[in-house]
Structure 1
Amino acid sequence: MPLNPTSSLTDDAAASHPKASKGSPEGTSQGPLDEVQAVQGPDTDERIDIETLHDKLMGPWKEVRQKVRDLIEDPALHKVDTLSYQDHRERVLQQLQILVENHVVHRAYPEYVGGGEDPGGNIAGFEELVAADPSLQIKAGVQWGLFGAAVHQLGTEEHHRRFLPGIMNLDVPGAFAMTEIGHGSDVASIATTATYDPDSEEFVINTPFKSAWKEFLGNAAQHGKAAVVFAQLITEGVNHGVHAFYVPIRDEDGVNLPGIQSEDDGHKGGLNGIDNGRLAFDHVRIPRTNLLNRYGDVADDGTYSSPIDSPGRRFFTMLGTLVQGRVSLDGSSVNASKIALSIAIRYAYERRQFSAGGETEATLMSYQLHRRRLLPLLARTYAQAFAHHGLLSTFDDVFSGREDTPENRAELETLAASLKPLSTWGALETLQECREATGGAGFMTKNRFTSLYQDLDVYATFEGDNHVLLQLVAKRLLGDYSKEFAGLDVGTITKYVSSRAEDLAFNRTGLRSVAQLIHDTGTQKKSAKALKDPKWQRELMQDRVHTMVSEAAEALRPARKMSATDATKVFNSQQVKLIDAARSHGELLAWEAMSDVVDSLDGKTHEVMTWLRDLYGLTLIHKNLGWYVSYGLISTQRGRALEEYINRLLDKIEPYSLQLVEGFGWTQAHLRAEISSGLEEVRQADAAEYFRKLRASSDAPVDEKTLMKMKSSGSGKRR
């Protein structure tokens, strides 16, 4: 949207300022880095290699990402915050058609239906849509990443040829009907049934009671014409567990088909461009062939068969095919953090307040507290961006079929469950901190923070509630811990337990912290040298995860001989510790991903990125400093040095902070915040020029304090 300078700006000042014209999304002829490099930041003798950083941040699918970024510069794809939610829904539906026309939605699907068979590229492009409108992104995700992906991943070629063309071209908007009012994350316990009738060769889909209604479904309130419905498959009197079915729900005029009931969820706390609603089924009949039967089939006589014998493994295999939602939310949330920091840090170099002793007021970023608020978030966003590339590459390896093994799928599930909670929570924290760091201006909807926060709030609970996902990670960590004992003889186990006891004794008696104290005695320099050692940082973070998991494992050992009720109580007593361990595990993964990238750089870029990596790692350690000290992993002296060294890192990084956000590659057409447009610098220049002229004139009033000094010194009257 074009910027309208406030009345306090002179037309000459606004017109002559080099940045004043950059607020309009129409100016899209420049490359993604040309504009942001032109922004004036702090004086530095050297520049880092922004192009290389940009390439690292864009990842393996850079070209796909850039194509989508170029597309979403179109104002027709931008969110209009003043629309009613009904109008917002219709606008987003029209925007989906723009995506179809520009061939944005086909990448994941098979070539034989017009797809690109590029699962990684599909997710990479999808993640960029968050900069246009999160409602557009999530509605696209519902249509092609959930509804379409369920048909693709759970169906066979026959289903693909029959259903995917209409899904891809948006002739058939659809819903993904998994969640029920009474069972959210507990998908295995959903109550909707699909009972096979061999006489008619049909499944009868039924919602037995109110809390079994399907809830929170995008496209369910208005636009959906079909749904992939998850239900308990019953045939010949046997429940074979949750399976997926393609179920038409509305006719061409948008009227519910017989037996279909729907309700509109109405206005929400965010993402109001999506028509979320509820669905229920009153003995709705569908053909037997509408069962998406890749992992389980029913013959015409009612006989059930599956390539996977174990019901539990079959269930988790089916759910595992839908992991792409978590993968995409991880990358989308990192992008939202990049947007927020691009706006807030650019503003921090233009907004001035309070004189630092001279006539010129200080920029916000000149204050230590402001650096402490924003720069650790910048470091974390970089780390999470690099970690996401590893996750997305793993996803592509599995879903392309190149490395699709049960072990790799399990690894993918764990990796997604580790990173998605941290990035979604991280985006919310970053948006809020950037909002506060930009004062009242940040509270204005036109500056994006509040709108993005509202839309991303639900990211923390859909596609898997974050705490539930971290429990999945904790379960995997416990399993890996127990594997250390598999196949070992009594002597080896005894040796392991003894060494572990010695290790714990070394930590808890303070011997490790004493060793640190002796090593660091006499100088802060020695402590600082130890703090910036990446090996030391990694070991500390690894120790935290291993210690918490091993303590929980030891506490849970007796549960193996207990009743289910008592065993549940024991596990519950360790739940918080295991969640902390899982969270620390995800943070370690991000730190390691960032370290790998740092090692690939050279020159000044390597140096600055090393500081940024250290800032991320040491901020994590500082957050848990009490834990580390209590376990004897860090001495009190080194703990005190930690605070000071973080502040030193902030001072080192600050001159390069604007260059670091330039590496994100967002243009003003993507940011679309007034305070990132350069307008604030116009205001500041206008004010400075006004006061310069005033001081040079004979009309300047005398400050009261100055007058009092003049009177007390007897220097005479005002001239």
Structure 2
Amino acid sequence: MARNRADILQRQLQGPQAPATATQLTRQTTSAHAVRQLPRFDVTLMEHFLDNLLPFKAEVYELFRQHPELLVAEEEGLSKEEHRELVRRSLRAILAAGYSPMSFFARDHAKYFYLAELLSLVDLSLTVKLGVQYSLWGGSVINLGTERHRKKYFDDIDRFRLPGCFAMTELKHGSNVAGLQTEAILDVHTDEWIVNTPDDGAIKWWIGNAAEDGRMATVFARLKVPAPDGSGALDDHGVHAFIVPLRDDAGGLWPGVEIHDCGYKVGLNGIDNGAIRFSSVRVPRDNLLDRFATVDRSGRYSSPMTSATKRFAATLGELTGGRVGLTCASVGVLKGSLMIAIRYGAQRQQFGPPDAPEIAVLDYPSQQQKLMPMLATCYALNFTKSKLVEKYCEMKRTKDEALVADVHSLSAGLKAYTTSYTNTAIGICRECCGGHGYAAVNRLGALRSDHDIFQTFEGDNTVLLQQVAALLLKEYRDSFRGSPLAATWSYLKIWAQDSLPANPLVTHETDVTHLRDPAFLLRALRYRSARLLHTLATRLRKHSRRSGEFAAWNKCLLHVLALSRAHIESVMLVEMLAAVDACVDPDCRRSLKALADLFALDRIYNDIIFRNDDYIAPEKAKAIYRLIGSLCGELRGVAVPLVDAFAIPDHILRAPIGLSTAGVDPYSEYLAAAGFDA
């Protein structure tokens, strides 16, 4: 038996040996509704399939097992000062253990993003602190600067000897980076930049690390140099990044720098957010992060980019790593929330037949149809997140322009989709845990509060989704000019045939084998994306002629957002089905296929576009509804192993109602947390 399990595990790690495809699996497992129970799979095999960095996970989580004093207890109500000190101690413990986050971010991106996911359930404030110090402050130095900046700052940033900030957002401007007002004016006589906050609206706001720790900052400001005609006027070359000191070695504020604590927030109170005003702060000319633009001693501006628009896009493009990190951390929070809710639902007894034991709340269809589609989405997001990380690593290695555009769009869309979805899911998980989900000790409230801002920073989700739609429209228009399409957009090649009315026989087909056929599911989600894209392009042309492009876009804004979400869900299904095909173990593969089917069918049933377009006839919609219920029931039987496969140890999850060690008495840990003696 042990040898057999070892052989299976070895095959799993080596990759697929011609397993059944998702289509073949459908034919094997969907002969009507007869299949009521999915086979129990080996959780260890699923863990290894989901995660190729399990040894690293074990190391990181063991560090916190050895230092339980670093694990924040939400119910204790730490002050912001206490929480900030705890986060600093945790970060220093990571460094003392020999980890180099800056090296990960510069050379081992997959491990850096994985670390962000792991720490999300330790303390989201710690995850964000890591991101501010290494992805934002450190990343801006090494990605926007040149080799001299890297040599000067890299080691001190890595060891947290030089805590820093990413000072982009202003009181009046956040998402509209091009509209920032802070200015950096070159004084050619002293060869210095004079950094200034022209009015209160330009005060840098919500700047992480600023209130207490930050000694330097990457400040985004308008680069202004004297006009070459000697008139005394200033030429404004738009927003660039500058390294600006905030504090001296003793912690005193730098001359001309004024900082105030932003105070308590809805969540993430372990982060010392501050507001910064600059009053004629002088910094050397070399403090311009000059990878994309330089200014010489005389004030002459030059850039290798052919236009200001391309330079600005290249500057912001180097910051996509932050969105990737947030996506990974958000998936980590979603996994933890579902683990708590599903484990609780599986052991919580409530009501039952007369003269019979109570049944678990997870046995009720109402509970299943809340949690099982979210579990399916979590798996789809996990595989899509992994693909995004893979593409990001390849992009950094190859610098391929098409891949850069692909990663920019996918990171924007997936960050927006994942963080919005996770925020909603945490609330549903809290509801599914009843009153016990409201207890601070069970963590769902704190996770919801801490995660909420993920929808806003590193790009407001509504703005990011508009970026995705804009790129889709560009690819759509280019397709008419014969331009090649990037891989992510390849399905647009068939938009014409997919936009045609569906075959009447197919629109009425209710057979389960058909409904679970990957070809049908993929075509349906791609149809929706193609249809929304085609109709959006038509509407924009019509309204632009009447009202101009800005008014047309605004009028179609809800359509824009629907298109972007539909596109991301199409990509998610592709990655989920690819995972099904790659999985060797037949029992794991059956569960993954059921998750993929549920994810797609849930989207098809709940989007009215399919019925409005007669893509799904009423009787087919009813069949899909019944099948969703059936799949939820099947997945209920393996729901606990599916969340166990996330491999989150109890000392990291720390929610008494969701622990794997609950055993015969599921409330023992909960009672102990409330102060009752064993």
Alignment correspondent of 1:590: 572
Distance 1:646 1:279, change over 3 A: same
Does the alignment pair 1:439 with 2:434? Answer: yes
One-letter code aligned to 1:593? E
Shift of 1:434: 1.1
Whether the aligned pair in 1 keeps the contact of 2:261 and 2:273 (CA below 8 Å) is yes
Shift of 1:477: 0.7
Alignment correspondent of 2:221: 231
Shift of 1:502: 8.6
Shift of 1:46: 4.2
Alignment correspondent of 1:180: 170
| Structure-1 separation of matches of 2:482 and 2:566 | 29
Q: 1:239-279: per-residue Cα shift (whole Å, max 9, x none)? A: 11111111111123322111001111100000000010111
Distance 1:527 1:570, change over 3 A: same
Whether the aligned pair in 2 keeps the contact of 1:105 and 1:144 (CA below 8 Å) is no
Whether the aligned pair in 2 keeps the contact of 1:72 and 1:129 (CA below 8 Å) is no
Whether the aligned pair in 2 keeps the contact of 1:58 and 1:65 (CA below 8 Å) is no
Distance 1:374 1:561, change over 3 A: closer
Alignment correspondent of 1:253: 250
Residue aligned with 1:353, SS: coil
Does the alignment pair 1:607 with 2:578? Answer: no
Structural mapping, 1:677-692, within 5 Å: 677=659, 682-683=664-665
Shift of 1:559: 6.1
Residue aligned with 2:193, SS: strand
Structural mapping, 1:281-680, within 5 Å: 281-399=278-396, 402-487=397-482, 507=501, 512=502, 514-516=504-506, 520=509, 526-558=510-542, 566-602=548-584, 603-624=586-607, 626-677=608-659
Whether the aligned pair in 2 keeps the contact of 1:146 and 1:322 (CA below 8 Å) is yes
Whether the aligned pair in 1 keeps the contact of 2:143 and 2:318 (CA below 8 Å) is yes
Choose which of 277, 280, 288 in structure 2 pairs with 1:280.
277
Shift of 1:127: 2.1
Does the alignment pair 1:52 with 2:45? Answer: yes
| Structure-2 separation of matches of 1:685 and 1:443 | 15
Whether the aligned pair in 2 keeps the contact of 1:107 and 1:118 (CA below 8 Å) is no
* Alignment coverage as a number of residue pairs: 612
Residue aligned with 1:255, SS: coil
Shift of 1:71: 2.5
Residue aligned with 2:220, SS: strand
| Structure-2 separation of matches of 1:106 and 1:556 | 45
Residue aligned with 1:359, SS: coil
Q: 1:638-677: per-residue Cα shift (whole Å, max 9, x none)? A: 0111110101111211111111111111111111111123
Shift of 1:128: 1.0
Whether the aligned pair in 2 keeps the contact of 1:76 and 1:95 (CA below 8 Å) is no
Shift of 1:623: 1.5
Give ranges in structure 2 of 5+ residues lacking alignment. Answer: 1-35, 227-233, 484-493, 669-678
Whether the aligned pair in 1 keeps the contact of 2:650 and 2:660 (CA below 8 Å) is no
589-598 vs 162-171, greater mean Cα deviation: 162-171
Residue aligned with 2:527, SS: helix
One-letter code aligned to 2:511? S
Whether the aligned pair in 2 keeps the contact of 1:598 and 1:609 (CA below 8 Å) is yes
Does the alignment pair 1:243 with 2:240? Answer: yes
One-letter code aligned to 1:72? F
Choose which of 131, 138, 143 in structure 2 pairs with 1:153.
143
Shift of 1:65: 3.6
Does the alignment pair 1:210 with 2:193? Answer: no
Shift of 1:397: 1.2
Question: Over alpha carbons, which structure has the higher Rg?
Answer: 1
Shift of 1:515: 2.3
Whether the aligned pair in 2 keeps the contact of 1:203 and 1:287 (CA below 8 Å) is yes
| Structure-2 separation of matches of 1:469 and 1:63 | 34
| Structure-2 separation of matches of 1:669 and 1:213 | 41
| Structure-1 separation of matches of 2:158 and 2:454 | 24
One-letter code aligned to 1:190? L
| Structure-1 separation of matches of 2:63 and 2:433 | 29
| Structure-2 separation of matches of 1:164 and 1:45 | 51
**TM-score under structure 1 length normalisation:** 0.82
Q: 1:516-544: per-residue Cα shift (whole Å, max 9, x none)? A: 36x64xxxxx4322211111111111111
Alignment correspondent of 1:71: 63
Distance 1:173 1:470, change over 3 A: same
Alignment correspondent of 2:26: none
Shift of 1:384: 0.1
One-letter code aligned to 2:477? S
Choose which of 262, 266, 270 in structure 1 pairs with 2:263.
266
Q: 1:539-588: per-residue Cα shift (whole Å, max 9, x none)? A: 111111111111111122256667xx622112222111111010011111
Instruction: Indicate the RMSD between aligned Cα atoms, in angstroms.
Output: 2.2
Distance 1:165 1:275, change over 3 A: same
| Structure-2 separation of matches of 1:52 and 1:231 | 51
One-letter code aligned to 2:292? Y
Alignment correspondent of 2:30: none
Whether the aligned pair in 2 keeps the contact of 1:177 and 1:227 (CA below 8 Å) is yes
Residue aligned with 2:522, SS: helix
Give ranges in structure 1 of 5+ residues lacking alignment. Answer: 1-42, 110-114, 489-498, 521-525, 687-719
Whether the aligned pair in 2 keeps the contact of 1:618 and 1:646 (CA below 8 Å) is yes
Distance 1:561 1:644, change over 3 A: closer
Alignment correspondent of 2:184: 194
| Structure-2 separation of matches of 1:680 and 1:132 | 20
Choose which of 80, 84, 90 in structure 1 pairs with 2:73.
80
Distance 1:261 1:49, change over 3 A: same
Alignment correspondent of 2:20: none
Residue aligned with 2:241, SS: strand
Whether the aligned pair in 1 keeps the contact of 2:442 and 2:657 (CA below 8 Å) is yes
Choose which of 137, 150, 157 in structure 2 pairs with 1:167.
157
Shift of 1:50: 2.4
Distance 1:452 1:159, change over 3 A: same
Whether the aligned pair in 2 keeps the contact of 1:351 and 1:680 (CA below 8 Å) is no
Percent identity (aligned): 33
Residue aligned with 2:213, SS: coil
| Structure-1 separation of matches of 2:348 and 2:625 | 27
Whether the aligned pair in 2 keeps the contact of 1:398 and 1:409 (CA below 8 Å) is yes
Distance 1:256 1:486, change over 3 A: same
Whether the aligned pair in 1 keeps the contact of 2:657 and 2:667 (CA below 8 Å) is no
Whether the aligned pair in 1 keeps the contact of 2:49 and 2:583 (CA below 8 Å) is no
| Structure-1 separation of matches of 2:555 and 2:273 | 37
Residue aligned with 2:211, SS: coil
| Structure-2 separation of matches of 1:322 and 1:330 | 14
Whether the aligned pair in 2 keeps the contact of 1:203 and 1:285 (CA below 8 Å) is yes
Distance 1:62 1:486, change over 3 A: farther
**TM-score under structure 2 length normalisation:** 0.87
